[in-house]
Each structure stands twice: as C-alpha cells, then as structure tokens.
C-alpha cells in the first residue's frame, strides 16, 4: 500500500463542483492499494500514519502527531501512485490492485480510520476529483507498507 501524506492547514475535495470532503489542519492522505495488499497492511499503515510526528510543537520541532494536534484526515484514493515509469513515456499501472480489491481496501482503510480518529473525510473512489490544499511547511511524506 502506498500513501503520500501532506501536512495541510486546509484541504478539500470536490466532485462536480460540490465539496464532498474537507478538513482544516491535518493530513491529506493520497492512498493507493497495490496487488497483494491486505487489511493487515492497511492496519499497519494507518497505525503508523496516526502516530507519525510531523506536526510542530511549541519549539517548532516536528514532534507531534495528527492525533496530538486533533487534526483531520482527508483520505483520497489515487491509483496513480502505483505508476511505473521505468520504460517509455506512458506510465504503467500493473502494480495497482484490481479495482474491486482497491475499492474494498480503500473502504476498509477509511472505516478503520473513522474508528480510530475523530475527524475523517474522504474523496469518492474511481471518480474525477478536484483536490485543493494548502500544504503546511511544506511537509510531504511518502509511505509504503507491505505485509
């Protein structure tokens, strides 16, 4: 499973001009399920994400987690994170999970996040979305978890 975390002061996702998810301070999570990913991998990623100390403390050091700052999570599915650009000029996506598996794992991840964290918003799976964010820092962290 691949994620790109962006520490934000605000973020939102629109579908057809309508805001369907938005947060203030927190993490924009771009999430991609890969072939072979399981619920255990999603659990491992979520646990790490919630505890990752990438928010500033009073001294300005990255010492606090999204839970510590009571920030939100905006979780957006993005299969293009599995892009292989090693040959040619057109990305290949063969490492991405099949759509049914990816949707199941995305839904599982969101459900687990909602159980573990008070503010969780989402995009819409397999939909053309417009994501707006104010990257705070900027802080952008790539993550990859495997079984």
Evaluate the CA torsion angle 56, 62, 68, 73 in order and state its sign. positive
Q: Which of 6, 25, 78, 121 is catalytic?
A: 78
Q: Which of 55, 79, 121, 122 is catalytic?
A: 79
For residue 109, indicate whether it is catalytic.
no
For residue 80, indicate whether it is catalytic.
yes
For residue 103, indicate whether it is catalytic.
no
Task: Give the active site residues.
Answer: 78-80
């Amino acid at each position: 499973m691949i994620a790109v975390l962006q520490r934000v002061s605000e973020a939102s996702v629109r579908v057809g001009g309508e805001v369907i998810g938005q947060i203030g301070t927190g993490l924009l999570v771009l999430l991609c399920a890969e072939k072979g990913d399981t619920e255990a991998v999603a659990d491992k990623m979520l646990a790490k994400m919630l505890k990752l100390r990438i928010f500033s403390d009073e001294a300005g050091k990255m010492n606090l987690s999204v839970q510590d700052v009571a920030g939100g999570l905006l979780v957006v599915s993005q299969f293009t994170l599995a892009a292989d650009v090693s040959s040619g000029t057109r990305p290949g996506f063969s490492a991405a999970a099949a759509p049914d598996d990816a949707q199941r794992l995305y839904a599982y991840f969101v459900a687990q996040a909602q159980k573990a964290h008070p503010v969780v918003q989402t995009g819409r799976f397999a939909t053309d979305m417009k994501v707006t964010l104010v990257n705070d820092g900027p802080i952008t962290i790539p993550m990859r978890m495997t079984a």
